[in-house]
């Protein structure tokens, strides 16, 4: 599935994030969904606590795309996105928000 995620969360166990020519791989409980804020659509990606270097790599890149997997099966591939925000939620998960 590609395009933009809908509001219903999609859960996976691995995600590959392409940042320029680099590939960042995260494993664990992962979720993506589309959110609407101030009339604009965003893709939200929630990752397990990340290696600080991976977070810095993503922040510096500014642009990224990702593919979400469950048990090796591709569930969702994002369009190219511009990084809008990276933050931690109340449980320590990394929340990455981007828009086309």
Residues 26 and 17 sit within 8 Å (Cβ to Cβ): yes
Considering only residues 51 and 32, tell me which one the structure prediction assigns the higher pLDDT: 32
pLDDT (average), residues 60-85: 93
Q: Which residue has the tokens 């922040």?
A: 59
**What is the rounded CA–CA span in Å between residue 31 and residue 50?**
14
Which domains are delineated in the chain? 10-99 (2.30.110.10)
Query: What local confidence, expressed as pLDDT, does residue 92 receive?
Result: 81
Output the average pLDDT for the chain.
88
Using pLDDT thresholds of 50, 70 and 90, give the confidence band for residue 38: confident
- Burial classification of residue 33, based on how many CB atoms lie within 10 Å of its CB (0-12 exposed, 13-18 middle, 19 or more buried): middle
Lowest mean pLDDT among 13-17, 29-33, 47-51: 47-51
Show Cβ contacts of residue 34 under 8 Å, excluding neighbours closer than 6 positions.
Answer: 4, 5, 6, 7, 41, 42, 43, 44
């Amino acid at each position: 599935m590609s395009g933009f995620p809908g509001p219903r969360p999609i859960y996976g166990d691995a995600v590959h994030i392409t940042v320029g020519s680099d590939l960042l791989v995260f494993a664990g409980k992962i979720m993506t969904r589309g959110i609407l804020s101030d009339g604009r659509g965003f893709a939200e990606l929630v990752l397990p606590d990340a290696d600080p270097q991976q977070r810095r790599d993503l922040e510096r890149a500014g642009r990224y795309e990702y593919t979400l997997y469950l048990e090796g099966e591709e569930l969702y591939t994002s369009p190219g996105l511009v990084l809008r925000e990276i933050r931690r939620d109340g449980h320590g998960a990394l929340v990455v928000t981007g828009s086309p």
